[in-house]
């Protein structure tokens, strides 16, 4: 009987370890669809849950929703201030515990073309993390 409980306890321990490892991710990814500054944008907030993590790249819908930056552009003969698709590559960011960074994605220049969120991927030095709808 003692051996039975020992085997049962050991097997329960090994079956619970993988489920705990899945929840131990270095980042938390939160996606929201609306915000005060950018109509039709997808907001991706990444929060670090480890001492240090390097965010190498983020994409929404496998790169089909461009990342946005705040700037002025010439559009139809006027200077327009707003959130526009960036023309620069993603700049990796080092984050420490409890740091949160917000990125914006969307199609602000293509009227009628929406960035319907399906998935966001965060590429880090500790692996790739995907959030899907």
**What DSSP character marks residue 38?**
-
- Helix or strand or coil: residue 78? strand
Confidence of residue 2 (pLDDT cuts 50, 70, 90): low
Q: What is the mean pLDDT of the segment spanning 61-68?
A: 93
| CA distance linking residue 61 with residue 14, whole number of Å | 36
Of 19-28, 45-54, 89-98, 108-117, the poorest mean pLDDT is in 19-28
Instruction: Give pLDDT, residue 20.
Output: 40
Instruction: Give pLDDT, residue 42.
Output: 92
Instruction: Give pLDDT, residue 80.
Output: 86
Tell me the domains of the chain and their CATH numbers.
Answer: 25-132 (2.60.40)
**Does residue 108 register a pLDDT over 70?**
yes
Cβ burial, residue 117 (10 Å; 0-12/13-18/19+): buried
Structure tokens at 63: 């790169």
pTM recorded for the entire structure: 0.75
**What DSSP character marks residue 67?**
B
pLDDT > 70: what percent of the chain? Answer: 77
Q: Are 14 and 116 in contact (CB under 8 A)?
A: no
Q: How far is CA 50 from the centre of its chain?
A: 16
**Does residue 84 register a pLDDT over 50?**
yes
> Phi, psi at residue 55, to the nearest 5°?
-85, 110
> For residues 112 and 127, which has the higher predicted lDDT (pLDDT)?
127
Q: Are 48 and 95 in contact (CB under 8 A)?
A: yes
Instruction: Give pLDDT, residue 127.
Output: 96
**Does residue 118 register a pLDDT over 60?**
yes
């Amino acid at each position: 009987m003692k051996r039975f409980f020992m085997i049962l306890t050991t097997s329960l321990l090994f079956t619970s370890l993988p489920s705990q490892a899945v929840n131990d991710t270095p980042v938390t990814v939160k996606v929201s669809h609306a915000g005060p500054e950018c109509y039709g944008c997808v907001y991706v907030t990444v929060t670090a849950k480890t001492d240090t993590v390097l965010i190498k790249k983020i994409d929404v819908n496998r790169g089909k929703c461009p990342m946005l930056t705040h700037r002025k552009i010439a559009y139809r003969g006027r200077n327009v201030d707003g959130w526009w698709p960036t023309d620069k590559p993603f700049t990796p960011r080092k984050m420490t515990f409890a740091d949160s960074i917000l990125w914006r994605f969307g199609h602000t220049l293509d009227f009628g073309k929406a960035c319907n969120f399906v998935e966001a991927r965060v590429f880090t030095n500790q692996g790739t993390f995907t959030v899907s709808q």
